Amino acid sequence: MSEESNSTPPPPPTEDQPIQSSAISIYTPIIYVAILLTTLIVFSISHRKKKFKKLTTLAPIFSESYPKEIYLELKYQTDPKVNEKVLKAALIRRGAESLRRMIKLKETEPFVNALYQKGSIGDEVFERYKIQAKLQELEMQELAMEAEGIKKGWAQTFFPVCQEVTINEALRRRLNATEERGKILSMQWLDDLEKKVEVTVQAEIENGSKVNS
C-alpha cells in the first residue's frame, strides 16, 4: 500500500484536550488605551502652551493704568506712612479709571461680536478684546478686596462713588472739548472776517483808482 493509504487522520480532541487558540492578552487593550490617553494629554499640553505663548504676545487694548500705579506706590510706602484718606482717594481714582474702561468695553461688545461674526476682524483682535474684558473683571474684583482691606464694608459704597467720579470726569471732558471747539470756530470766524474785510478794502482801493484815472 502507498503512504497515503497508510496515513490516518489525527484523532479528534477529547474533552480532556481543549482546542488551542491564539488568545489576546488582557493587557493589550489597556496598553492601547494608555498610549492613546498619553498622546492626547501631550497634544493638549503642547496646544495650551502654544496658545498661552500667543496670548502673552498680544498687545493690550488699553495702556498702563497710571492711577493704579500711583495707588500701589502709596499703599506700599512705609516712610512716611500714607494717610488713610489719601489712600482712599487714590483707590477711588483707580476705581474710576477701571470703571471707565469697563463701560467702554461693554459699549463696544456688540460691535466687536458683530464684526467678528462677519469676518471683518480676525481671531487675534477678538482674542485681545476677550482678554482685556477678563482682565477688567479681575481688576474690579481686586478693587473690591482693596476697599474691604482699607475699611470693612466700604466696598458696598465704593463703586457708586467711583461711578459718580467717572460721570463727572466724562462731563468735564465734554465741556472742555466744547470750549476748545468754540475757540477753534471763533478763530476760524475771525480769520474769515479778516479775509472778507481785506478783500473789501482791496476792492474799494481798486475802484477808487479806476475813478481817479
pLDDT for the residue numbered 139: 93
3-state secondary structure 31-52: HHHHHHHHHHHHHHHHHHHHHH
Decide which of 172 and 29 is more confident.
172
Mean pLDDT for 141-153 is: 92
Cα 92 to chain centroid distance, Å, stands at: 22
Please work out, in degrees rounded to the nearest 5, the angle formed at the alpha carbon of residue 30 by the alpha carbons of 25 and 34: 145
- Give the 3-state secondary structure percentages of the chain, helix then strand then coil, rounded to 5: 80, 0, 20
Q: Is 119 left (phi over 0), alpha (psi -120 to 50) or beta?
A: left
pLDDT for the residue numbered 38: 81
Range list of H helices, 58-154: 66-75, 84-118, 123-150
- When pLDDT is cut at 50, 70 and 90, the band that residue 52 belongs to is low
- When pLDDT is cut at 50, 70 and 90, the band that residue 91 belongs to is very high
| Domain locations in the chain as residue ranges | 29-58, 64-185
Question: Torsions phi, psi of 149, nearest 5?
Answer: -70, -35
Report yes or no: 121 and 112 within 8 Å, Cβ to Cβ. Answer: yes
Tell whether the torsion through CA atoms of 174, 179, 180 and 186 is positive or negative.
positive
pTM of the full structure? 0.58
Mean pLDDT for 7-21 is: 51
